[in-house]
Amino acid sequence: MTGETSGHGRSQNQDQDGRGLVGGRYRLVRRLGTGGMAMVWLAYDEELASEVALKEIAVPEPGLSWHAGGDGGLDREMAARVARARAEARNAARLRSHPHVATVYDVVRHDGLPWIVMEYVPGATDADALVRAGGTMSSSDTARIGVAILDALVSGHRLGILHRDVKPANILLAPGTSDAPRTSDAPRTSDAPPRTSDAPADGAGAGFERVLLTDYGISLRPSSGDPRLTAAGGVIGTPGYLSPERARGGEPTEAGDLFSLGATLYRLVEGEGPFARDSDLSTLTALLFEDPPPPRRASVPLATAMLGLLEKDPERRMTVPEAERLLRDAVSAGSAELSGSAGAEGGGFGHHGGFGHQGTLDLSNRPMAAPTAPSPLVPPPAGATPHRRRRARAYQFVIAATAVVTAVAGAVWGGAALGNGIGDDDSPSGSASESSDSRSYRPYRNNTTLDQELVPGECVNAVWKNPKKPYTGEVQMWPADCRVSSPAGQVIAVEPVADPESLSETEARHTCEERTAELRKTLAAPVAYPMLPSADGSTLACLVFQRGTDEIYGPLGEFRTAGERLAVTNAGTGDCFNVDGRNQWILTTCDKPHAQQAIGWAKAPAGMSYDEFLEANPRLCQRKYEQAWVRGTPREIVGWYTGDADRWNGGFRFLMCALKDANDSKKLPGGSAEPVDG
C-alpha cells in the first residue's frame, strides 16, 4: 500500500513475478513491502487501468516453530494465515467508507489462495518508519494522528470489530492533494485553524494529510461466530503495544485497542515505546510489571491522554470521551502556538524532528463517532468516578506547575510531575479491581494469571517478573499449544498437596527436581520450576524450562510422539530420528532403522564467539564422543546446533551430538546404539 507510482511497460499477460495476472486482471508491478505473514505488491488493474495494492499471503517457510507439529502444524499455520486474510478483508470492507481506514476493494483467489485488493496510496509511509528515519513527532501532530486513529477504532467498535494490533507500523501517513476530500464537513472552529499543504514544512514528516489505520488481519468480531485467530499461547499482537490483560491471555476488548493506541502515541512523540526493551521477553515483563516512564517531550494534555490510555487496569483505563477531549486540547495547543509564534510547543515539550510544527494533517474538527449504547467503550465500574476526578485534578495541577517551572527552568519537571499524579490513585475508591481479583480463583501462589490448575503434558508461555533471574520468584504464565506455538516450558508432573499453605518453596523445588530428574538428564540446559499451590489450589505443578532460551519448540520427553519434528531445544539424548529433505529432524522409534541417534551435548567453551561455535561443529562433538562411540566401527559423530543467534546471545550454547553411519546412504540398525565398550 506504500510506495511511488511507476510505469507499466510489460506485455498484457506478463507480471513482475512471472505468475500471470492475479485473479485474471491484476498484473504485479513491484513489491512494496514484506512482513512475516504477507507481501504487498503494487499491481495494475488491467480492466480499470488503475493502480492498486495487492496483499499476498506468505507461505510458511520450513524449519520454523509451527513445524513442531509436523506437516499438520504447517497446515494449521497456513490455514490461520488464510483466516487472517479473510478477516482483514471482511472487517476492513465494513469500514471502507471511513476516511482513516485503508480501503479494501475486493478479495480474489489465485492459485487457491486469497489475495486482498486494496487502495494504493502513493508516497505513503508507516509511522514507525517515519519516526526511525526522521526523529520524534511534535505533540500536536501526534495528537492529530491520535484523533484520527481513535475515530477509526470507535467506528470499528460500533460495528463490533476489534483491531487488536494497533501500532505505529500499522498507521500509514500519506500526502494529500489539492482536491482531496476534507475529513469532515463540520465547520472549523477559531481555536483550531486549518492546516494546509501551503503551511511551512519542518521535519521529515511534514506534508502528510492522510492518516490510515491498516492491517485488520488479526481483528475480531466477537459476535460474528468466526474462528478466533491465535498465536503462541493463544495471545496475538505485538509486544510493547499489547494490553496487559491480553498478554495474560484475557479476552480481547475495546479497552485493549485503547491501550495499544496509548502506546503508539507514546512511541511517536517520545521516540520509543513506553515498554521498549532489548527483547520481546523483557518487553512483556515491563508491560506487565512496570509503569511507563513519565513523558519528556509530550505536551501536558497529550501526556495526560497517553498515561490514561496506558492504565494497566482496563476498568480504570481512560474512556474515549476523555481521550478525545485531551487529544483535541493537544491539537489546539499546537495550533495556537503556530498562529502565535514559531517557538517550541508546550513550553519545551514540542518538536524534536519528525512531523514538525506546521504539518498538513487536517483532523482537528472531525466529530468523533458516538458509540452506541452502552456509550463508554469501557463501562465505568463502581468507584471509578473518584479515580477520574483525581485524574482531572492531576491534569489541572500539572498545567499550573508547568506554567511556573517554565518561567524558571523549562518544562521538563512538568512531565515528571504529571507521571506522579496520574494513575497513582491510592485511595480505597481506586481499588475495586484489586478486591475483585482477590475473590477470583487463583490456584498458585507465584502466579496471578492462571485460573485453572495445570495438568501433566500442558505447555506454557511465561514472563518472569525479574528477567535477569528467570525461574525464580513471580511469573506471569498462560497455557500454550505444545505443537502449534513455540512454548517456553512444559508441565512434567503434578503432585497432590494436602496442606498447600504449609508447603515451602524449598520443599516444592526439591520435589520437582526429583520428579523431573530422568527427563532433565537428557536435555541440554534444563531447569525444574515449581508452581506452588495457593490456599485455593490442591496440587504442586512441576515444569521444565531450558536455560538461555525462552522457547522449547515443542513437547518434551514422553509427551512427544513418533513423526513429530524436533529441535535442539526439545530433543534429548537417546532420541532416534530421521532427517528429511529440508534438514528437519523427524522423531522415530529406535526399534526401527533410523538415520541418527542423539548421544549427548557439547557446550561451547567460555569466550567462544557464535561464528567460532559454528565453525567448531562437529569437532566439539567428535572430541567429546568419538573415542567412546566410534572407535573401530563404521559410524561417525555429527553435531547439530540452533541457527538462532538470539538464542546464543541468551546463553543457550550447545551442540546436539548424534551418531550416524559413515555412509550417508545407510541408516543405523534398529535398536539403541551403545558406546563401543558398552
Can you tell me the mean pLDDT for 610-618? 90
Does pLDDT of 259 surpass 70? yes
Which of the residue ranges 42-56, 151-165, 188-202, 508-522 would you say has the lowest mean pLDDT? 188-202
Same domain, 510 and 622: no
Residue 391 maps to a domain: no
Would you place residue 113 in the very low, low, confident or very high pLDDT band (cuts 50, 70, 90)? confident
Rounded-to-integer distance, Cα 195 and Cα 360, Å: 5
- Write down the pLDDT at residue 343: 35
Q: Strands 50-57 and 26-34: what pairing?
A: unpaired
Give the residue, 498 or 4, on which the prediction is more confident: 498
198: its cell numbers: 501551503
Q: How confident is the model at residue 85 (pLDDT cuts 50, 70, 90)?
A: low
Q: How many domains does the chain have?
A: 4
Average of per-residue pLDDT across 203-208: 50
Select from 494, 522, 546 the last residue of a domain.
546
Q: Evaluate whether residue 4 is within a structural domain.
A: no
pLDDT for the residue 121: 85
Q: Which grid cell is 88?
A: 482483514
What would the pLDDT profile of 616-654 be if each residue is shown by its tens digit? 999 999 999 999 999 889 999 999 987 667 788 888 999
Q: Which residues define the annotated binding site? A: 55
**Is there a contact between 234 and 480 (Cβ–Cβ < 8 Å)?**
yes
Percent of the chain topping pLDDT 90? 40
Question: What stretches of 439-562 show up as alpha helix (H) in DSSP?
Answer: 505-515, 517-520
Quick one: pLDDT at residue 279? 84
Q: Please indicate, yes or no, whether residues 152 and 237 belong to a single structural domain of this protein.
A: yes
Domain CATH for 187: 1.10.510.10
The answer to whether residue 12 is domain-embedded is: no
pLDDT in tens, 210-224: 899 987 644 444 443
Mean pLDDT of 65-71: 40
- The full length of the chain comes to 678
Q: What is the pLDDT of residue 293?
A: 93
Distance CA 659, CA 656 (A): 10
pLDDT at 542 over 90: yes
**How many distinct helices (H) and strands (E) make up the chain?**
16, 19
Residue 407 lies in a domain: no
Q: Which residues are annotated as a binding site for ATP?
A: 55
Secondary structure of the chain: what % helix, strand, coil (to 5)? 30, 20, 50
Alpha-carbon span 58 to 506, nearest angstrom = 48
Kindly tell me the burial class for residue 24, based on how many C-beta atoms sit within 10 Å of its own C-beta (0-12, 13-18, 19 or more).
exposed
Domain that holds residue 31: 26-118
State whether 160 and 259 are in the same domain. Answer: yes
Q: Residue 586: pLDDT above 60? A: yes
81 falls in which pLDDT band (50, 70, 90)?
Answer: low
Residue 214: the pLDDT is 85
- CATH number, domain with residue 96: 3.30.200.20
Percent of the chain with pLDDT over 70: 67
> What is the pLDDT of the chain when averaged over all its residues?
73
Q: Are residues 143 and 276 in the same domain?
A: yes
If asked whether residues 500 and 589 sit together in one domain, one would say no
Rounded to whole angstroms, the Cα distance separating 584 from 61 reads: 12
Final residue before a domain boundary, out of 322, 352, 369: 369
361 within 8 A of 149, measured Cβ to Cβ: no
Q: What is Dmax (Cα atoms) for the chain?
A: 92
In contact, 357 and 345? CB cutoff 8 Å = yes
Quickly list H helices, 423-544: 432-438, 505-515, 517-520
- Identify whether the C-beta of residue 489 lies closer than 8 Å to the C-beta of residue 483: no
Mean pLDDT along residues 455-469: 87
Q: For residue 90, what pLDDT is reported?
A: 65
Residues 242 and 285 in one domain: yes
Across the strands, what pairs with 421? none
- DSSP lists the bridge partners of residue 352 as none
Is residue 59 within 8 A of residue 39, CB to CB? The reply is: no
Helix (H) or strand (E) segment spanning residue 392: helix 384-409
Is the pTM higher than 0.75?
no
> Has residue 465 got a pLDDT over 90?
no
Q: Which of 90, 118, 146 is the last residue of a domain?
A: 118
Supply 460's cell numbers: 506454557
- Give me the DSSP letters along 257-301: HHHHHHHHHHHHHHSS-TT--SSHHHHHHHHHH-PPPPPSSS-HH
| pLDDT tens digits for range 163-204 | 888 999 899 998 764 333 333 332 222 233 233 333 333 433
592 in a domain, yes or no? yes
241 found inside a domain: yes
In a domain, 582, yes or no: yes
Q: Is residue 282 in a domain?
A: yes
Residue keyed to cell 489505520: 213
Shared domain check, 566 and 541: no
Q: Distance between alpha carbon 139 and the CA centroid of its chain, in Å?
A: 25
My answer on whether 211 and 360 are in the same domain is yes
Pick the closest to residue 232 from 555, 566, 545, 478 (CA basis): 478
Burial-class residue 121 by CB neighbours within 10 Å (0-12, 13-18, 19+).
buried
pLDDT of residue 143: 95
CA dihedral sign, ordered 76, 82, 84, 87: negative
DSSP letter for 170, please: G
Q: Assess whether 243 and 361 both reside in one domain.
A: yes
Of 191-200, 519-528, 565-574, which gets the smallest average pLDDT?
A: 191-200
In Å, what is the CA distance from 515 to each residue of 492, 528, 644?
A: 8, 9, 31
Tell me what the mean pLDDT of segment 516-542 comes to: 95
595: three-class secondary structure by DSSP: coil
Residue 352 pLDDT greater than 50, yes or no? no
State the pLDDT at residue 638.
Answer: 94
Q: What is the DSSP string of 198-215?
A: TSPP-STTTT--EEEE--
Provide the pLDDT for residue 280: 83
Band (pLDDT 50/70/90 cuts) for residue 469 is confident
11: pLDDT strictly greater than 50: no
Q: What is the pLDDT of residue 216?
A: 61
Torsion angle (degrees, nearest 10) of CA 519, 521, 526, 532: 50
- Roughly how many angstroms between the first and final C-alpha of the chain, as a whole number? 64
Query: Mean pLDDT throughout 313-342?
Result: 80
Do 183 and 286 have their domain in common? yes
Co-location of 114 and 138 in the same domain: no
Query: Could you tell me if 98 and 61 lie in one domain?
Result: yes
